[in-house]
Structure 1
Amino acid sequence: MAFFVSFRRPLHCGIRAFCAGSFAKHYVPAISVACSGKKSQGSVGLLSSLDHSWETVEKRIRNTSQDSFFVSKRGEIGGAKELAVGVFDGVGGWEASGIDVRSFSWGLSQKTRENFEKQAKDGGTVVDALKIGFQEVLGDKSIVGGGATACLSQFCGGNGIIRVINLGDSGYSIYRNGSLLFRSNIPFDLRRDQEEGGKYIKNEVDEADVYNHQLKHGDVVLLSTDGILDNLFFEGIERVVTKTLVEAGIWLKSGQNILPCEGNVSKDQLLVAAQVSRHLVVSAKKNAQNTKIDTPFALEARKHRFFYQGGKPDDITALVLIILDASLVTTLFPPSLFCV
């Protein structure tokens, strides 16, 4: 049986169909987000929502990064808990035209989240929310231009299914029992272009790749911008994820195998596991500043006969969902946010 189903239309498939069915298990995601703005990567200091308010940490990120993200509120639809998350990477080339790339990226992120929270109860999906949010950005006169890649997901706790839409060189990957299970390809981005005579749109949302995945207890989903993907090989990401979840006791070593824990998951375990997004961004940031190592970006450059060695300095964002059997979670605390 195929692990995922890819489709392009109809993208308006409602949440009632997405979350339909009767399942013995219900799932909850433990969520953490970590970001490092390119302009602030020479500075020292970690700001975390574990010690400060989410708004304080997000404000610092907004001031330093063209990457953006959102985590929606959890809603209940037909008895099933569901939410949406997403990462966006503002296209930096627009800066040469004097355009604030952050306004497009953060504007699209905010509008997508707001529309999802308003419409989910009526059967709207994160795809619908992105479509509407994109049109609202186009109609916002304060946003004169810009572009962004996007990777968004909608998770239904009633059946453990996650729906992901991916546009551009942001992307996502899924890890199960210590191994990479799936990674996305790189299709499109979203743009608002200005030309003499009016505006036009390239790469509509309808052209994006959309996937459904059936997740299990202990699965890890990573949504990331190219700051992660250009500087960390998937083998390296797998090692960071595995090390963190084993330390948290959410994954357990059994001989040569790694299996998800079968007992209750405590708050202390979740606090350790929440560090996985931070560990990934710290690793990517370290590689980005190293001029002597091989990275995915360097290897790709050499394929095109351009000699390049080292990492690629960039904004870096990792958003992680750890999928847990709801019956095993004693306390689920709010999403964690790190500015690295």
Structure 2
Amino acid sequence: MLIAKKPRVEEPRFICPEKQTNGVADGVGGWTKGGVDAGDYAREQMMLTEAALSSLMLKYVNYNGIINNNNCHGQETKRNLHEMVCGSVYLPKDNKLGEDAHFICPEKQTIGVADGVGGWAKKGIDAGQYARELMHNAFIAVHNPNNIDEQKRKRKVADMIGAVDPRKVLQETYAKTKEKGSSTACILSLNKESGVLHAVNVGDSGFLLFRNNKVVYQSPTQQRRFNCPYQLGNGISSDRPDSAWEEWIQTVPGDIIVLGTDGLLDNMFPSEIEQVLVQGGGGDRDLDLGCGELASSIANLALYNSFDKHSPSPFSENARKAGFEHKGGKIDDITVIVAQVVAL
């Protein structure tokens, strides 16, 4: 199940291969004259449709894909709840703090990374300070009851775990971050009931979703030109949360999410991460290596690749496509969060 819009628009859509159902909604633009964002109504319709389809799938289909005949006769089977088990590693490039930042909030099933844009150093500004304040404010914002997703709010569900709306978190976080500088940001939240992963991203941080040790999804990057990502900041030319790419993805128990800054994504191909997961027993709930150790293995391989001046890398391939000559990896701060989806 996948719903996508890039960035927030008045015509959100959803694609559901499992139920052979697609949909699109068009918010009526005339409402803007009254200060109303009609896109909010359209987006809510698509989210509610997605939730209804997800509920049907969870009701009639087990996670191994076998139809549950008992349910077809009207007998309810208890719905599995979902949870992300997380671990992280940060390898700063030049000093103990570096320019990356991240947070993990297990009780709200929300994780995030930020990468302060290094170009500010030329002006004597530590962009890492902006990234750190951004993630600090994000961690606080996920506990704000106003940042619950609208489906849960309208149903008045008591258990709000995993129901955080990362788009609202990003908006609040941005408004409260006053440090000089700018930063990319990627925030993910898992809905504990449906298993839907809700993601927002600004810039070239991002995540990959692995199923049975194979990548099944990689988030797109936002760049204005090569090596110039979208970035949140307080400057006139900085981007705002409304420019964020946003998406919903259905997960299943056993899925592994690898979230990272460009220090990871510029230095490792998805196939290399797949190999780490295979060697570490990824995809099995009882991992031989915990999520923290998997994150460490991935981050250290990215670090090794960043110093390799000869082997191909995602960064060198993207440089070539943009008309630049670059061999090997890119030395940078590296942040990796590994999260495994488990059934409770």
Structure 2 length-normalised TM: 0.71
* Change in 2 beyond 3 A, CA 1:323/1:103: same
Q: Tell me, what secondary structure is at the counterpart of 1:274?
A: helix
1:173-212 to 2 correspondences below 5 Å: 173-187=208-222, 189-194=230-235, 200=236, 202-212=238-248
Alignment partners' CA distance in 1, 2:261 and 2:89: 11
Compute the displacement of 1:86 (Å). 0.4
Q: Which amino acid aligns with 1:156?
A: N
Give the aligned partner of residue 71 of structure 1.
104
State percent identity of aligned pairs. 25
Give the aligned partner of residue 332 of structure 1.
none
Alignment partners' CA distance in 2, 1:185 and 1:71: 22
Residue 288 (structure 1) aligned with residue 303 (structure 2): no
* Change in 2 beyond 3 A, CA 1:273/1:172: closer
Preserved contact between residue 103 and residue 139 of structure 2 (Cα < 8 Å): yes
Alignment partners' CA distance in 1, 2:288 and 2:323: 45
Compute the displacement of 1:107 (Å). 0.4
Query: Greater CA radius of gyration, 1 or 2?
Result: 2
| RMSD of aligned residue pairs (Cα, Å) | 2.5
Q: Tell me, what secondary structure is at the counterpart of 2:3?
A: strand
1:240-259 to 2 correspondences below 5 Å: 240-246=276-282, 250-251=283-284
Equivalenced residue count is: 266
Q: Which amino acid aligns with 2:82?
A: Y
1:266-277 to 2 correspondences below 5 Å: 266=286, 269=287, 272-277=290-295
Alignment partners' CA distance in 2, 1:19 and 1:153: 17
Preserved contact between residue 230 and residue 295 of structure 1 (Cα < 8 Å): yes
Compute the displacement of 1:274 (Å). 3.3
Alignment partners' CA distance in 2, 1:159 and 1:245: 25
Give the aligned partner of residue 309 of structure 1.
327
Alignment partners' CA distance in 2, 1:95 and 1:239: 36
Preserved contact between residue 30 and residue 274 of structure 1 (Cα < 8 Å): no
Compute the displacement of 1:297 (Å). 1.1
Q: Tell me, what secondary structure is at the counterpart of 1:71?
A: strand
Give the aligned partner of residue 51 of structure 1.
none
Q: Which amino acid aligns with 2:142?
A: F
Structure 1 length-normalised TM: 0.72
Residue 126 (structure 1) aligned with residue 159 (structure 2): no
Compute the displacement of 1:202 (Å). 3.1
Point out the structure with the larger strand share: 1
Preserved contact between residue 310 and residue 328 of structure 2 (Cα < 8 Å): yes
> Structure 1 unaligned runs (5+)?
41-62, 76-82, 195-199, 252-264, 327-340
Q: Tell me, what secondary structure is at the counterpart of 2:309?
A: coil
Compute the displacement of 1:133 (Å). 1.1
Preserved contact between residue 244 and residue 273 of structure 1 (Cα < 8 Å): no
Q: Tell me, what secondary structure is at the counterpart of 2:176?
A: helix
Compute the displacement of 1:115 (Å). 1.2
User: Which has the higher relative contact order, 1 or 2, with Cα contacts under 8 A spaced 6 or more apart?
Assistant: 1
The CA deviation string for residues 217-236 of structure 1, in whole angstroms up to 9 with x for no partner, is 11011111110111111111
1:117 to 130, 143, 148: 143
Preserved contact between residue 173 and residue 222 of structure 1 (Cα < 8 Å): yes
1:1-340 to 2 correspondences below 5 Å: 3-7=1-5, 8-9=8-9, 24-40=79-95, 63-75=96-108, 83-119=109-145, 120=147, 123=153, 125-137=165-177, 140=178, 143=179, 145-187=180-222, 189-194=230-235, 200=236, 202-246=238-282, 250-251=283-284, 265-266=285-286, 269=287, 272-326=290-344
Alignment partners' CA distance in 1, 2:295 and 2:273: 10
> Structure 2 unaligned runs (5+)?
10-38, 59-78, 154-163, 224-229
